[in-house]
Amino acid sequence: MKVLIVHNDFRVYWKGRLLFLKKYLDERNIDFYAIELFGKGSPYSFDNYENKEQWWTCLFPEKSYDEISISTIRGTFLDKIKEINPDVVIAGSIVFFAGALGLRWAKNNGKKFIMFDDAKPSQIKRNFLVQWIKDLITHQIDGLWLPSNEYDEAYTKFIDKDMLVCYGYNCIDNELFKFKATRENNFNTIICVARLVPIKNIDFLLRAWKLIEKRRPNYKLVIIGDGPEFGVLNELATNMGLKTIVFLGAVNNSDIPTYFYNSSAFILPSLSESWGLVVNEAMASGLPLLLSNKINASNTLLHEGENGFGFEPTNVKKIAEKIIRFIDLDEKEKKKMSENSTKFINQMNYDNMGNELVCMLSRSEKQKSRKPGPLASLLINLWHGRYNTSGWDKL
């Protein structure tokens, strides 16, 4: 079997996943290839394109999507995928170039198409006609690769008895964040790692921390991250007279585990997150969680009262209450939460990802590719996708 995964770009977390999957699938006699479209223009622009693998191709390594015509993107992609001629195409949402063009090629050539996605349909508002067209096209996919089975309800209109479904792709290399020594639990620091943009809701966290300073002044809040709101948030903290908050700005990714180690809990107050992989990182480091209930990862990874607490991110008082609830736990309870975070995230690792995918691929051999009807086929061949990341950090 020959499997191809395509995406607009494979930055940051995808790198480790692809390298793992290549080895994992090769050991099971499955040929694995990867195509990314653009070397520039990613929301993760700090992570430069530098891949040299023969099985992993970037079509436009020196360009972003807005520097290339649609016809050039389409033609170059379709030529490359024809050259590889995979049995199964795996790609992100059909909204984007890679998903739309990958689905087009697969359906026109009688191949299987599996879509991965960590956003929930309800999180993205579209008018009725646009949503209807998207749903009709999405119904033509052969399989779904979702972060966890908690997503089943959100995708119920696409999942039927013939739909191939597997889970667990939103994983990280947990080993990079594990500590070799026994973890201490006597730090009086709560850490937040986030890009400083409105959707991360850091201003509400600052307002909640004002209450913490009054009631539990021995605790410190450390915020790691940069972004357009860095100056505004620093000014807000100064105007509020906050004394136990430290803004560290951007730090090297390799240093993040050390900051986690020197903290007692991780907090993220986002107004929305399609997943939130920094939660995986914090858990792999053994940190209890304090999470907004608008973060998709919290629905899977946060076990209320076992490895942390959730809160409504627009309620300053509730945020503060959950922080204080954690602070007031005794050391034995905090240690148990730490152990539970590690235990829970160990179930969402590279091996689990590989096993889930192999099981799906095995099942796919017993099924025929879904054949679109005339209208769906027309729409698939008209739609080429897009790559608009301007709203990725906004509601």
Higher pLDDT, 52 or 10: 10
pLDDT at position 50: 78
Range of lowest pLDDT (178-182, 310-314, 339-343): 178-182
Comparison of pLDDT for 237 and 182, the residue scoring more: 237
In a domain, 390, yes or no: no
Residue entry with tokens 């080429």: 384
Averaged pLDDT for residues 93-117: 96
Pairing of strands 189-193, 265-268: parallel
Residue 97 and residue 385 in contact, taking contact as beta carbons nearer than 8 Å: yes
Same domain, 124 and 190: no
Domain hosting 299: range is: 175-345
Please check whether residues 145 and 99 belong to one and the same domain: yes
pLDDT at 240 over 60: yes
- Tell which wins on pLDDT, 180 or 364: 364
Do 60 and 37 contact (CB within 8 A), yes or no?
Answer: yes
Whether residue 221 is found in the same domain as residue 102: no
Tell me which amino acid residue 181 is: A
What pLDDT score was predicted for residue 389? 52
49 domain residue, yes or no: yes
Residue 388 lies in a domain: no
In this structure, are residues 150 and 128 in contact, taking their beta carbons and an 8 Å threshold? no
* pLDDT tens track for 315-358: 999 999 999 999 999 999 999 999 999 999 999 999 999 999 99
Q: Is residue 179 scored above 90 in pLDDT? A: no
Whether 159 and 183 map to the same domain: the answer is: no
306 and 212 part of one domain: yes
Instruction: Read off the pLDDT band of 185 (50, 70, 90).
Output: low
- Starting at the earlier edge strand, list the strands of the sheet with 289-292: 245-249, 220-224, 189-193, 265-268, 289-292, 308-311
Q: What residues contact residue 311 under an 8 Å CB cut-off, 6+ apart?
A: 269, 290, 291, 292, 293, 318, 319, 321, 322
C-alpha distances (whole Å) from 92 to each of 97, 98, 103 are: 9, 7, 10
Same domain, 280 and 196: yes
pLDDT of residue 14: 94
Q: Do residues 277 and 172 make contact, with C-beta atoms less than 8 angstroms apart?
A: yes
pLDDT at position 394: 53
DSSP 8-state symbol, 56 = E
Query: Which residue in this structure is represented by tokens 């995979």?
Result: 86
393 part of a folded domain: no
Q: Is the pLDDT of residue 391 over 60?
A: no
Q: Is position 165 within any domain?
A: yes
pLDDT category, 182, cuts 50, 70, 90? low
pLDDT score for 125: 80
189-193 and 220-224 strand pairing: parallel
Tell me: do 276 and 375 sit in the same domain.
no
Tracing tokens 């690792």 back to the chain, one arrives at 349
Q: Please state, in angstroms and rounded to a whole number, the distance separating the CA atoms of residues 247 and 386.
A: 36
361: closest CA among 168, 170, 165, 169?
165
Percent of the chain exceeding pLDDT 70 equals 95
Answer yes or no: do 99 and 216 share one domain.
Answer: no
Provide the token pair at 67. Answer: 């520097």
Question: Could you tell me if residue 232 is inside a domain?
Answer: yes
**Structural domain tally of the chain?**
2
**391: in domain:** no
Residue 390 has pLDDT above 50, yes or no: no
Look at 52 and 182; give whichever has higher pLDDT. 52
**Best CA proximity match to 112, nearest among 366, 368, 384:** 368
Tokens standing for residue 341: 């975070």
Count of other CB atoms within 10 angstroms of residue 211: 16
Report the sign of the C-alpha dihedral through residues 302, 268, 308, 266, in that order. positive
List beta partners, residue 123.
none
Rounded Cα distance, 221 and 202, in Å: 12
Tell me the C-alpha distance between 327 and 309, whole Å. Answer: 11
**What pTM does this model have?**
0.93
Mean pLDDT for 195-213 is: 97
| pLDDT over 90 percentage in the chain | 87
186 pLDDT higher than 70? no
- The per-residue pLDDT for range 271-288, each reduced to its tens digit, is 999 999 999 999 999 999
Same-domain pairing of 149 and 213: no
Distance CA 164, CA 161 (A): 8
Per the document, the length of the chain is 395
CB 242 within 8 A of CB 211: no
Is 176 exposed, middle or buried, given 0-12, 13-18 or 19+ CB atoms closer than 10 A? middle
CA proximity to 67, closest of 87, 40, 89, 92: 40
Same domain, 29 and 89: yes
Q: Are residues 180 and 281 in the same domain?
A: yes
Question: Domain with 164 in it: what CATH number?
Answer: 3.40.50.2000
pLDDT at 11: 86
Q: Is the pLDDT of residue 392 over 60?
A: no
Largest CA distance in the chain: 67
Nearest to 224 by CA among 251, 252, 264: 251
Q: How high is the mean pLDDT of the chain?
A: 93
> Among the listed ranges 13-22, 54-63, 136-145, 380-389, which one has the minimum average pLDDT value?
380-389
Give the tens place of pLDDT for each residue, 65-79: 999 999 999 999 999
Is-contact 282 337, C-beta < 8 A?
no
Same domain (yes/no): 238, 132: no
In a domain, 395, yes or no: no
Task: Let me know: does 28 contact 89? Beta carbons within 8 Å.
Answer: no
Q: Are 186 and 331 in contact (CB under 8 A)?
A: yes
Whether 346 and 171 have beta carbons less than 8 Å apart is answered as no
Q: Which residues contact 227 (CB under 8 A, 6 or more apart)?
A: 195, 196, 197, 393
